[in-house]
């Protein structure tokens, strides 16, 4: 079994939760989402986030609006939709209980 | 001294060394072809391009006005290779086709027809461009063979009506991904036609206004 593959699969499961949580109840500029994800060492390359953001938007969890910028073209600011908010809540709960269960097992 | 190339990324003008430009161009094309045919591809590509433009902008200042190979490499490393992009996100579901024996059948292609779709159906069946089949028919009829032959074929060959019949006509196995592909192709054709009509309508409208 390859460790990298399992690691990638573990990350895959939680990365959606993390993006939603970075945005939570603010309006966030795409590059700030990238910076937060990188700082938390959840992503290595930035390219992975774009397909995910577009998918979450198409699934109705995210919305965005364009805002003028002083230093270039308009920027996309993402925020959660109502559905996105309730899914974030559910995923967070689920993650906490999963985390608890796994830790319990690992301590044995 | 080096040759430079001026290019526009997401509405901002940049100057690149020509070797750096070549590398960047290959990279952007790889991204485009990676997302081609995926849901939301245009949006993903334009978001990635605007991020790349932003990174390049941050590298420039009063003293540095031309982007070189190192800058392009740095941006590439930061964005990652297209093959890594899907690693952390949902994978497209993969459908496995049941291997079926001789799945190719003769149908009339009513979507690509002059009269009854006999020639285009034959073309699909024998994997020959329809133009040649039509040519043979025209020559045959002109040289005295009765046009009845065409009519008989018209009657005895069934039309490909459903998506699975259309796939059988082309000899593609009938599975989810092929059905999806065919529907997408046909939708694109319809969209092109609608676009054509719309632009024609616009032109006529403009002319009338004058």
Instruction: Please give the ipTM for the structure prediction.
Output: 0.84
With CA atoms as reference, the chain A residue closest to B77 would be: A45
Interface touch A50/B47, C-beta < 8 Å: yes
CA of B29, closest CA in chain A: separation in Å? 14
Find the radius of gyration of the CA atoms of chain A. 16
DSSP string for A3-24: HHHHHHHHHHHHHHHHHHHHHT
Q: Which residue among B11, B57, B87 sits closest to A48, beta carbon to beta carbon? A: B87
DSSP string for A66-89: EEEETTEEEEEEEEE-HHHHHHHH
Burial track A29-51 (b if 16+ CB lie within 10 A, e otherwise): bbebbbebbeeeebbbbbbbbbb
Q: Which of helix, strand or coil describes residue B87?
A: coil
Q: Which of helix, strand or coil describes residue B135?
A: helix
Q: Which residue among A8, A47, A53 sits closest to B79, beta carbon to beta carbon? A: A47
pTM: 0.58
CA of A51, closest CA in chain B: separation in Å? 6
CA of B88, closest CA in chain A: separation in Å? 5
Rounded to an integer, the average pLDDT of B74-85 is 89
CB-based contact, A7 to chain B, within 8 Å = no
pLDDT of B173 strictly over 80: no
User: For chain A, how many residues are written?
Assistant: 108
> How sure is the predictor about B77, in pLDDT bands with cuts at 50, 70 and 90?
very high
Provide the mean pLDDT of chain B.
Answer: 83
> How sure is the predictor about B16, in pLDDT bands with cuts at 50, 70 and 90?
very high
pLDDT of B93 strictly over 70: no
- Residues from chain A that touch B38, judged by Cβ atoms under 8 A, are 51
> How sure is the predictor about B103, in pLDDT bands with cuts at 50, 70 and 90?
low
Nearest residue to A60 via CA among A33, A30, A87, A31: A87
CA distance B1 to A33: 40
CA distance B179 to B188: 14
- Residues from chain B that touch A76, judged by Cβ atoms under 8 A, are 47, 50
Q: Which residue has the higher pLDDT, B196 or A86?
A: A86
- Residues from chain A that touch B59, judged by Cβ atoms under 8 A, are none
pLDDT at B37: 77
- CA-based torsion, B84, B88, B92, B94: positive or negative: positive
pLDDT of B208 strictly over 90: no
The structure tokens listed for B64 are 């540095």
Q: Which of helix, strand or coil describes residue B34?
A: helix
The structure tokens listed for B170 are 């082309």
Looking at chain B, the whole-number percentage of residues with pLDDT higher than 70 is 91
> How sure is the predictor about B95, in pLDDT bands with cuts at 50, 70 and 90?
very low
Taking only residues 25 to 84 of chain A, the set having a beta carbon closer than 8 angstroms to any beta carbon of chain B reads 30-31, 34, 43-48, 50-55, 57-58, 71-73, 76
pLDDT at B209: 67
CA of A25, closest CA in chain B: separation in Å? 22
**Contact between residue B156 and residue B122 where contact means Cβ atoms under 8 Å apart:** no
pLDDT at B99: 45
pLDDT at A56: 92
Interface touch A15/B89, C-beta < 8 Å: yes
CA distance B206 to B9: 33
pLDDT at B97: 44
Q: Which residue among B35, B80, B90 sits closest to A44, beta carbon to beta carbon? A: B80
pLDDT at A7: 80
Rounded to an integer, the average pLDDT of B172-194 is 81
CA distance B71 to A35: 19
Parallel, antiparallel or unpaired: strands A62-69 and A72-80: antiparallel
B37: left (phi over 0), alpha (psi -120 to 50) or beta: left
- A20-A24-A28 Cα angle (round to 5): 90
pLDDT at B87: 56
Q: Which residue among A8, A46, A71 sits closest to B51, beta carbon to beta carbon? A: A46
CA distance B104 to A77: 51
Q: Which residue among A45, A58, A71 sits closest to B39, beta carbon to beta carbon? A: A58
Q: What is the pLDDT of residues B61-71, one digit of tens each?
A: 888 999 999 99
Q: What is the pLDDT of residues A41-74, one digit of tens each?
A: 888 889 989 999 999 999 999 999 999 888 778 8
Q: Which of helix, strand or coil describes residue A32?
A: helix
CA of A30, closest CA in chain B: separation in Å? 9
Interface touch B85/A76, C-beta < 8 Å: no
User: For chain B, how many residues are written?
Assistant: 210
């Amino acid at each position: 079994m390859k460790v990298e593959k399992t690691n990638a699969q573990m990350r895959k499961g939680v990365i959606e939760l993390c993006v939603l949580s970075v945005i939570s109840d603010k309006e966030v500029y795409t590059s700030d989402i990238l910076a937060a994800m990188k700082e938390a060492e959840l992503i290595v390359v930035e390219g992975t986030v774009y397909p995910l953001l577009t998918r979450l938007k198409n699934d109705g969890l995210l919305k965005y609006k364009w805002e003028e910028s002083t230093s270039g073209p308009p920027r996309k600011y993402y925020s959660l939709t109502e559905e996105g908010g309730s899914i974030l809540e559910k995923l967070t709960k689920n993650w906490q209980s999963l985390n608890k269960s796994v830790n319990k097992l690992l301590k044995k | 001294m080096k040759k430079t190339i001026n290019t526009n990324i997401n509405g901002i003008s940049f100057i690149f060394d020509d070797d750096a430009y070549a590398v960047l161009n290959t990279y952007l094309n790889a991204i485009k072809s990676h997302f081609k045919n995926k849901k939301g591809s245009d949006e993903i590509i334009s978001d990635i391009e605007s991020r790349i433009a932003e990174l390049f902008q941050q590298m420039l200042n009063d003293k540095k006005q031309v982007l070189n190979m190192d800058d392009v490499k740095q941006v590439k490393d930061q964005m990652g290779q297209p093959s890594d992009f899907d690693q952390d996100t949902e994978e497209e579901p993969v459908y496995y086709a049941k291997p079926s024996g001789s799945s190719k059948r003769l149908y009339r292609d009513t979507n690509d027809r002059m009269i009854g779709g006999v020639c285009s159906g034959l073309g699909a069946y024998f994997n020959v461009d329809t133009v040649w089949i039509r040519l043979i028919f025209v020559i045959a009829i002109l040289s005295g063979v009765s046009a009845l032959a065409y009519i008989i074929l018209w009657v005895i060959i069934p039309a490909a009506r459903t998506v699975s019949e259309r796939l059988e006509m082309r000899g593609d196995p009938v599975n989810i991904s092929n059905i999806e592909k065919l529907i997408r192709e046909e939708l694109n054709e319809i969209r092109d036609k609608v676009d054509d009509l719309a632009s024609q309508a616009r032109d006529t409208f403009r002319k009338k206004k004058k």
